[in-house]
A and B are shown apart, each in its own frame.
Chain A
């Protein structure tokens, strides 16, 4: 039996991906404003930020469509609406009115006549104002874009080397507008819900209608509607409601500060949740391997991306296990220490008054304190705190014989490693502390037991029917092309991941 590996792998990829298609359908502009609005609504609903206006001047109906948040409202009012409303149109012929109205607009505003609706929608979604006139089978697009710019700053927690420097801001409309700039097709849907009995915070659900799983979407809406609290001050409030119902260290809800990352997630059929007043957007479903992805992976050569991902995975495990393993080795498994290191470790640890486990716990705690202090303090003082921390725990503690030098190296290495994936810091910090205790009480035995429990706990997370551990388990080999590994864009680009297929 000859196994055709290529066909087999192609089949596996087909199981979890969908072909990439673009909507090139040509729909001519309709002669009535109502018909055009109807078509646009059929394409764009639900999208809270698309505004439709009808106005009548001298018995002629004008229709305007624009995207809230991406247009200059002042410019529209003063340079477009007022001149058009005050215009005198001597004919009832829609085509002539359209031309006359367009001529009334200042030359500084870009104008273009459109015959086709889908192109018009695309341009309108880029921030242009779309104008229809009753009786005309043409539309006019006015370039009145005003993108949120100045307030947008670089995301602090997800800095990229080659990626965009834009990050979400507190302004909810700006955030949606940032997404609109990335996805200029009508399939991007935005729906608004309100949470918080008193705060009435607006929450926007964003998704791509051609690939989102309807059941998941309904479930997300239901969960948000059922989320009960008085005030909602951040996206973190919603996370427990959106995540798994089982007790777990992992929620199955992702969060990002970057519009480009959210765009990528939406393109895989995920659902984004933007909360007013928070520069972090949530997305569901979220799987474990996504923690190790960053936009830079996709902007660099695949071999480099793979090596970086492997490095991140290694750093994650180092960040969790290293102190626990060191404690276990020094307490129970001295045989593992290489002969060249046994003298150093033995001698250094012998003058420390505390058992290795307590020493590691204290060091872990000191590090967390320094980190917290550095984070909460104003930046200038934060640096000073770091220096004092480094000096105190680094040099003085070793010289005073309170801490062994190898322990210091272990804690330092652990700290650096745990910052490689900031979104997993909370989990790794908690696990690190547990593993230090367990390693000191029951060595490798306890460490492996906790590890196994964490894995089974992680495997139990599947909030929207998508196992958190997919595509590793259940094994979806077709999705491996972009999990730990990252294929070349020439391969990745042919098909896109369909998240809801990771559950089968």
Chain B
């Protein structure tokens, strides 16, 4: 990333990326916990988020980043690991979008073509580079937040606090487990780990604001889902879409269309960013042309996603919370800690 982007732009992309995950969550991720637990677990997520990114911020503080060797073997290993993580997450993101389009939006239509269209457009976005992605994110973030606020406001009348549940009804462990699993599904931590050196401005402050905002948004979404739908939410594949479609403003009904728009905007940016990062990391690490990696990555993504498309059992097999958790743990705290140790050892040896 020769051209740096500001912390505000960077975290805007990440916020949209998180909003996408919040809006596309399915009840299988929160199995075993009740409505109030879902709201409460966002706090656990907040804490876990800080813990796992701590090594990354330590690594990127001034003293340590001076020691970074851009062409070392370690950087190549990092490039490969991060690229693999980003590829995997881009597959699950596209596959989830495909699942949504195929089941909720166009149940009567074959969505394979739409899938290809998304990948082609996202590859184009990735080809344009990080600056256009970042600028677009800043332009989208306010309308997206306003749309969410609008939907929430129009749902206030449907809130029934009796749909809330006793806290930790099934114990604390399922809540912690779900929170950890949610942290594992947060590819944004890996994005931070991979791109932090190239962000100008106060990254730590930005990170804290981003984490707080996404926690508030997720908690709000879970609150409205729990209080508006109650037990009905567990019967829905995409409960957030369901509550949005229940929202009504004046004679306008079916505000699910707004959510659809928000999803696609967020997904577009997220997939573009993930493809871009793969191309950037591999081109810097191995000297391959960025456009070549972009095209190869997009083609691979298309092949894998077409294989998954329209088959919910394949989707469930690929979209594994455990695999995601392991990948995030390796690519975020483990890799950062390892690099930190290597650097410290090198520093000691030199002295």
Contact = CB atoms under 8 A, between A and B. Distances in A.
Interface string B207-247: 00000000000000000000000000000000000000100
Contact of B254 (A336, A443, A462, A475): A336
Interface in A264-282: none
Interface in B118-155: 118, 121, 124-125, 128-129, 131-140
Contacts of A126: none
Interface stretch (B51-59, B259-267, B299-307): B259-267
A449 B114 CA distance: 10
B133 A338 contact: no
B261 A448 contact: yes
Interface string B5-35: 0101100000000000000000000000000
A332 B106 contact: yes
A469 B251 contact: no
Contacts of A443: 105-106
B136 A442 contact: no
Contact of B114 (A446, A456, A467): A446
B315 interface: no
A455 interface: yes
Contacts of A338: 251-253
Nearest to B139: A473
Interface string B252-288: 1110110011001100110010000000000000000
A445 B105 contact: yes
Interface string A300-324: 0000000000000000000000000
A24 interface: no
A448 B121 contact: no
B99 interface: no
Contacts, number: 107
Interface in A439-479: 441-446, 448-453, 455-457, 459-460, 462, 467, 469, 472-475
A332 to B, nearest CB: 6
Contacts of A218: none
B275 to A, nearest CB: 12
B265 A474 contact: no
A23 interface: no
A442 B114 contact: yes
Contact of A474 (B9, B128, B129): B9
A474 B134 CA distance: 9
A478 to B, nearest CB: 15
Interface in A390-441: 441
A472 B132 contact: no
Contacts of B338: none
A335 B245 contact: yes
A472 B136 contact: no
A474 B138 contact: yes
Interface string B104-115: 011000000110
B117 interface: yes
A456 B117 contact: no
Nearest to A475: B138
A335 B139 contact: no
A448 B252 contact: no
A475 B8 contact: yes
B93 to A, nearest CB: 14
A449 B121 CA distance: 8
B264 A445 contact: yes
Given A333-B254, A338-B251, A452 B128 contact: no
A445 B260 contact: yes
A459 B137 CA distance: 10
B101 interface: yes
A336 B256 CA distance: 9
Which among A333, A445, A453 has the highest number of chain B CB atoms within 10 Å?
A: A445
Given A338-B251, A456-B133, A449 B260 contact: no
B135 A459 contact: yes
Given A339-B251, A444-B257, A455 B139 contact: yes
Contacts of B6: 474
B135 A473 contact: yes
Nearest to B133: A456
Contacts of A467: 131, 135
A340 interface: yes
A335 B254 contact: yes
Interface in B132-191: 132-140
Contacts of B118: 449
A246 B132 CA distance: 12
Contacts of B101: 445
A459 B139 contact: yes
Contact of B129 (A332, A333, A444, A460): A460
Given A340-B251, A460-B132, A455 B140 contact: yes
A448 B125 contact: no
B264 A453 contact: no
Contacts of A445: 101, 105-106, 114, 260, 264
24 contacts: A335-B245, A335-B256, A336-B253, A338-B252, A339-B251, A340-B251, A442-B114, A443-B105, A444-B105, A444-B261, A445-B264, A446-B117, A448-B264, A449-B121, A452-B140, A452-B269, A453-B121, A456-B132, A456-B133, A456-B136, A472-B138, A473-B134, A473-B137, A473-B139
Given A452-B136, A452-B268, A459-B139, 17 more contacts: A332-B105, A335-B254, A448-B265, A448-B268, A449-B268, A452-B140, A453-B124, A456-B128, A456-B133, A456-B268, A459-B128, A460-B129, A462-B131, A469-B135, A469-B139, A473-B139, A474-B135
The 6 A-B residue pairs whose C-beta atoms are closest, nearest first, are A473-B138, A459-B135, A448-B264, A460-B132, A459-B132, A452-B268
Interface of A: 246, 332-333, 335-336, 338-340, 441-446, 448-453, 455-457, 459-460, 462, 467, 469, 472-475
